[in-house]
């Protein structure tokens, strides 16, 4: 009975791992299930690499060390193998080395599977991270397990040369409407890394909460970080040490953090913390609802700009990435002239502290600076201010709410989420072209895509995952894969084949009926 059971289990695991595990050496390669789809991939009949207890992760460049560490961290628990990281190539295993090909650019990589080795070649740490993300998906799904699993750990013969369509593939998490612990945020960051997302935008302040310690303005977190939507209370913020740890964690996954402090609207938490930030000198009450557009910093007071500069200075000092997001959306309580005055003073402050400004697209009407980056979050295919900026040479980040807002409900039965931008089923999230979506914003104007997840209705990691999976991998596909492979009929089975991986990882995904899921 026992051996029979074991055989049944092995068979089930092979099926569960998708089509990439070939049973015999001469089996024809199955279609690959990589997301995002690589720029160029060839599969080789009859070639299989098998990871063994003596396999090593071998480096010829220290640039590959962070990616090697992530690979070892992923594979050691599931395989039970030691997988030492060594310098120099002395035999079989996984080899991370340099690439002679300058066309790979800052993020590209090559991956070649031979019976003895998997070789990843890249010119940068980012390239190695991207190669590792691919290798993880070429291995059986159970390689992602946190506990020991039975092998074999096979990778079928494949040669890949890969570079991204866009250099910015982002995800945003709103930790203001509901606060998420560093462990919850790290869990999401780890999920982003599987799909070659390279920027993580943290929405750190809003009407309902101020979530990062600012040493020169301690009441921001003491008062402004004491509650959230729904009224839960506690120390609902990150100390600067915790934030640094989050940034380092993201970096260890090849991801750059972009912090956002939303202003001049969406500022009630700050106005509840300090009376002097209000024109009438009166503190505002804390807010635990989900309305928008009612708050504004006081545009005419000098202290407003001392406050902004202190925040920008402190956060810039602990943020190694080059970007700072200043929000700027829905400033319905700030008259247009005041909004312009505010931005005229704030944009130079960000520059003075060495960062490049990203903002929700409204702010772009106030400046002709071509270095700043508008993030389009509208639902229309025209926006005159964003088109004018693109004409001047600004790069645009695309987050159309009716396509890739992860907080939109899939359909009328989705329990979580909002629907102000409509329902966004998986096919809607996939069915648009970032390089030809907004009039006047062409492929060359697009910096990339970002999937925001606002959290008015989102409280737990399971909630985050339900909204992000499967739409986050969809956004990753749009941001990385060449436009030429865009095709729903071919994409849907690839997406469906991710499910065994998510099951192994305990990811709570939405089982959309549009997707042919692999069991
Ligand atoms: C809008 C609004 C946010 C909401 C979100 C909900 C932007 C940029 N501002 O997006 O405050 O949380 O919708 O979907």
pLDDT digits (tens, 9 = 90+) for 392-425: 999 999 999 999 999 999 999 999 999 999 999 9
Ligand 1 centre and the CA of 324: distance in Å?
18
What does DSSP say about strands 356-360 and 323-325: parallel, antiparallel, or unpaired? parallel
CATH code at position 220? 3.20.20.80
C-alpha separations of 98 from 101, 266, 283, 422 in Å: 9, 46, 57, 46
Domain closes at, from 162, 184, 219: 162
502 part of a folded domain: no
How many Cβ atoms from other residues are within 10 Å of residue 353's Cβ? 17
The pair of structure tokens assigned to 198 is 């390279």
351 part of a folded domain: yes
The pair of structure tokens assigned to 45 is 């009949």
pLDDT digits (tens, 9 = 90+) for 202-222: 999 999 999 999 999 999 999
Name residues whose C-beta falls within 8 Å of residue 21's C-beta, 6 or more positions apart in sequence.
14, 140, 152, 154, 156
Residues 294, 380, single domain; the answer is yes
41 has a pLDDT exceeding 70: yes
Give the mutation target among 454, 456, 457, 467 for probing the ligand 1 site: most ligand atoms within 8 A of CB. 454
Q: Which atom of ligand 1 lies closest to the CA of 407?
A: 14
Specify the pLDDT at position 8: 30
Residues 142, 216, single domain; the answer is no
25 has a pLDDT exceeding 50: no
pLDDT digits (tens, 9 = 90+) for 295-314: 999 999 999 999 999 999 99
Domain closes at, from 140, 162, 184: 162
495 part of a folded domain: no
Which residue minimizes the CA distance to atom 6 of ligand 1? Answer: 454
Q: How far apart are CA 506 and CA 501, in angstroms?
A: 9
pLDDT band at residue 58 under the 50/70/90 scheme = very high
CATH code at position 64? 3.30.379.10
pLDDT band at residue 29 under the 50/70/90 scheme = low
Question: Which residue range forms the structural domain that includes residue 377?
Answer: 168-480
Which residue minimizes the CA distance to atom 12 of ligand 1? Answer: 454
Which residue minimizes the CA distance to atom 4 of ligand 1? Answer: 454
Q: Does 360 contact ligand 1 (Cβ within 6 A)?
A: yes
With the C-alpha atoms ordered 13, 18, 21, 23, is the resulting torsion angle positive or negative?
positive
Q: Determine the Cα angle at 104 with ends 103 and 106, to 5°.
A: 115
Q: How far apart are CA 221 and CA 273, in angstroms?
A: 8
Residues 372, 428, single domain; the answer is yes
Residues 146, 241, single domain; the answer is no
The pair of structure tokens assigned to 383 is 């926006």
Q: How far apart are CA 257 and CA 170, in angstroms?
A: 10
Q: How far apart are CA 332 and CA 268, in angstroms?
A: 13
Ligand 1 centre and the CA of 207: distance in Å?
12
Ligand 1 centre and the CA of 242: distance in Å?
26
pLDDT band at residue 375 under the 50/70/90 scheme = very high
Q: How many CA atoms lie within 13 A of 507 on its CB side?
A: 30
Name residues whose C-beta falls within 8 Å of residue 123's C-beta, 6 or more positions apart in sequence.
63, 98, 99, 102, 104, 105, 106, 108
22 part of a folded domain: no
Ligand 1 centre and the CA of 448: distance in Å?
19
Residues 142, 41, single domain; the answer is yes
Residues 145, 225, single domain; the answer is no
276 has a pLDDT exceeding 80: yes
496 part of a folded domain: no
Answer yes or no: are the C-beta atoms of 29 and 45 closer than 8 Å.
Answer: yes
Q: What pTM was computed for the model?
A: 0.94
Return the active site residues.
330
503 part of a folded domain: no
Residues 121, 48, single domain; the answer is yes
Answer yes or no: are the C-beta atoms of 47 and 118 closer than 8 Å.
Answer: no
User: For all residues of the chain together, what is the average pLDDT?
Assistant: 94
Answer yes or no: are the C-beta atoms of 477 and 197 closer than 8 Å.
Answer: no
pLDDT band at residue 11 under the 50/70/90 scheme = very low
Q: Does 329 contact ligand 1 (Cβ within 6 A)?
A: yes
76 part of a folded domain: yes
Q: How far apart are CA 49 and CA 60, in angstroms?
A: 20
Q: Does 109 contact ligand 1 (Cβ within 6 A)?
A: no
Ligand 1 centre and the CA of 103: distance in Å?
38
Answer yes or no: are the C-beta atoms of 449 and 404 closer than 8 Å.
Answer: yes
pLDDT digits (tens, 9 = 90+) for 121-133: 999 999 999 999 9
Which residue minimizes the CA distance to atom 3 of ligand 1? Answer: 454
Specify the pLDDT at position 28: 53
Tell me what percent of the residues of the chain surpass a pLDDT of 90.
92
Q: How many CA atoms lie within 13 A of 309 on its CB side?
A: 9
Q: Does 207 contact ligand 1 (Cβ within 6 A)?
A: no
How many Cβ atoms from other residues are within 10 Å of residue 399's Cβ? 25
Q: Does 330 contact ligand 1 (Cβ within 6 A)?
A: yes
Q: Which atom of ligand 1 lies closest to the CA of 420?
A: 14
453 has a pLDDT exceeding 60: yes
Q: Does 454 contact ligand 1 (Cβ within 6 A)?
A: yes
20 has a pLDDT exceeding 80: no
The pair of structure tokens assigned to 220 is 């921001």
Q: What does 285-318 look like in DSSP terms, one character per residue? A: PP--S---S-----TT-HHHHHHHHHHHHHHHHT
Q: How far apart are CA 149 and CA 476, in angstroms?
A: 28
Q: Does 294 contact ligand 1 (Cβ within 6 A)?
A: no
pLDDT band at residue 31 under the 50/70/90 scheme = confident
pLDDT digits (tens, 9 = 90+) for 111-124: 999 999 999 999 99
C-alpha separations of 318 from 196, 313, 355, 370 in Å: 24, 9, 12, 26
321 has a pLDDT exceeding 80: yes
The pair of structure tokens assigned to 247 is 């940034």
Q: Does 377 contact ligand 1 (Cβ within 6 A)?
A: yes
Specify the pLDDT at position 24: 39
Q: Which atom of ligand 1 lies closest to the CA of 290?
A: 12
Specify the pLDDT at position 169: 98
Specify the pLDDT at position 13: 26
Q: How far apart are CA 375 and CA 449, in angstroms?
A: 9
Q: Which atom of ligand 1 lies closest to the CA of 292?
A: 11
Q: Does 363 contact ligand 1 (Cβ within 6 A)?
A: no
49 has a pLDDT exceeding 70: yes
Q: Does 407 contact ligand 1 (Cβ within 6 A)?
A: yes
Q: How far apart are CA 516 and CA 438, in angstroms?
A: 31
pLDDT band at residue 140 under the 50/70/90 scheme = very high
Specify the pLDDT at position 413: 98
Which residue minimizes the CA distance to atom 5 of ligand 1? Answer: 454
Q: Does 262 contact ligand 1 (Cβ within 6 A)?
A: no
Which residue minimizes the CA distance to atom 10 of ligand 1? Answer: 377
Residues 192, 336, single domain; the answer is yes
22 has a pLDDT exceeding 80: no
Residues 340, 383, single domain; the answer is yes
136 has a pLDDT exceeding 60: yes
Specify the pLDDT at position 510: 98
Residues 375, 393, single domain; the answer is yes
Answer yes or no: are the C-beta atoms of 173 and 180 closer than 8 Å.
Answer: yes
Which residue minimizes the CA distance to atom 13 of ligand 1? Answer: 454
Ligand 1 centre and the CA of 144: distance in Å?
34
pLDDT digits (tens, 9 = 90+) for 153-172: 999 999 999 999 999 999 99
Q: How far apart are CA 326 and CA 262, in angstroms?
A: 5
Specify the pLDDT at position 100: 84
| DSSP 3-state percent helix, strand, coil across the chain (nearest 5) | 35, 20, 45
Specify the pLDDT at position 105: 96
Ligand 1 centre and the CA of 454: distance in Å?
7
Residues 43, 99, single domain; the answer is yes
Q: Does 309 contact ligand 1 (Cβ within 6 A)?
A: no
380 part of a folded domain: yes
Domains held by the chain: number: 2
Q: How far apart are CA 15 and CA 120, in angstroms?
A: 27
Q: How far apart are CA 298 and CA 270, in angstroms?
A: 11
Ligand 1 centre and the CA of 25: distance in Å?
52
Q: At what angle do helices 125-138 and 65-79 cross, to 10 degrees?
A: 20
**Which segments within 244-315 are labelled E, that is strand?**
256-260
Residues 365, 393, single domain; the answer is yes
Which residue minimizes the CA distance to atom 8 of ligand 1? Answer: 329
9 has a pLDDT exceeding 80: no
Which residue minimizes the CA distance to atom 9 of ligand 1? Answer: 329
Which of 55, 115, 95 has the alpha carbon at shortest distance from 79? Answer: 55
Q: How far apart are CA 84 and CA 330, in angstroms?
A: 52
């Amino acid at each position: 009975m026992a051996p029979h059971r074991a055989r049944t289990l092995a068979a089930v695991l092979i099926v569960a791992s998708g089509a990439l595990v070939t049973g015999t050496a001469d089996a024809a390669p199955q279609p690959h299930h990589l997301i995002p789809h690589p720029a160029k991939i060839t599969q080789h009949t009859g070639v299989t690499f098998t990871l063994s207890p003596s396999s090593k992760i071998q480096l010829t460049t220290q640039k590959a060390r962070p990616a090697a560490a992530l690979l070892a961290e992923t594979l050691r628990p599931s395989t039970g193998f030691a997988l030492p990281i060594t310098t120099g190539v002395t035999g079989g295993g996984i080899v991370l080395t340099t690439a002679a090909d300058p066309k790979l650019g800052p993020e590209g990589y090559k991956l070649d599977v031979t019976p003895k080795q998997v070789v990843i070649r890249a010119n940068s740490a980012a390239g190695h991270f991207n190669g590792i993300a691919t290798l993880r998906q070429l291995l059986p799904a159970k390689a992602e397990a946190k506990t020991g699993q039975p092998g074999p750990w096979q990778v079928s013969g494949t040669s890949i040369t890969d570079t991204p369509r866009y250099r910015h593939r982002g995800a945003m998490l709103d930790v203001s409407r509901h606060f998420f612990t560093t462990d919850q945020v790290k869990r999401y960051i780890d999920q982003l890394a599987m799909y070659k997302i390279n920027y993580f935008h943290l929405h750190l302040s809003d009407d309902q909460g101020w979530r990062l310690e600012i040493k020169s303005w301690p009441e921001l977190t003491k008062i402004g970080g004491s509650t959230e939507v729904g009224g839960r209370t506690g120390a609902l913020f990150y100390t600067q040490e915790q934030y640094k740890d989050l940034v380092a964690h993201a970096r260890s996954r090849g991801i750059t953090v972009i912090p956002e402090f939303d202003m001049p609207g969406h500022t009630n938490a700050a106005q509840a913390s300090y009376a002097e930030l209000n024109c009438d000198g009166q503190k505002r009450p804390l807010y635990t609802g989900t309305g928008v557009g009612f708050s504004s910093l006081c545009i005419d007071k000098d202290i407003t700009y001392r406050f902004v500069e202190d925040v920008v200075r402190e956060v810039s000092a602990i943020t190694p990435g080059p970007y700072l997001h200043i929000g700027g959306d829905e400033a319905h309580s700030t008259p247009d002239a005041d909004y312009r005055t505010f931005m005229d003073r704030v944009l130079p402050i960000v520059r003075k502290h060495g960062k490049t400004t990203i903002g929700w697209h409204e702010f772009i009407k106030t400046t002709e600076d071509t270095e700043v980056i508008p993030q389009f979050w509208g639902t229309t295919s025209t926006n005159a201010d964003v088109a004018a900026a693109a004409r001047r040479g600004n790069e645009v980040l695309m987050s159309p709410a009716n396509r890739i807002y992860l907080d939109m409900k899939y359909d009328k039965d989705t329990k979580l989420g909002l629907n102000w931008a409509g329902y966004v089923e998986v096919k809607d999230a996939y069915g648009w072209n970032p390089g030809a979506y907004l009039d006047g914003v062409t492929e060359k104007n697009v910096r990339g895509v970002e999937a925001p997840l606002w959290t008015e209705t989102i409280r737990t990691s399971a909630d985050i995952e339900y909204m992000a999976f499967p739409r986050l991998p969809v956004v990753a596909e749009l941001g990385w894969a060449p436009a030429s492979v865009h095709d729903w009929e071919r994409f849907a089975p690839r997406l469906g084949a991710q499910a065994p991986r998510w099951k192994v990882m305990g990811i709570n995904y939405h089982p959309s009926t549009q997707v042919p899921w692999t069991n």
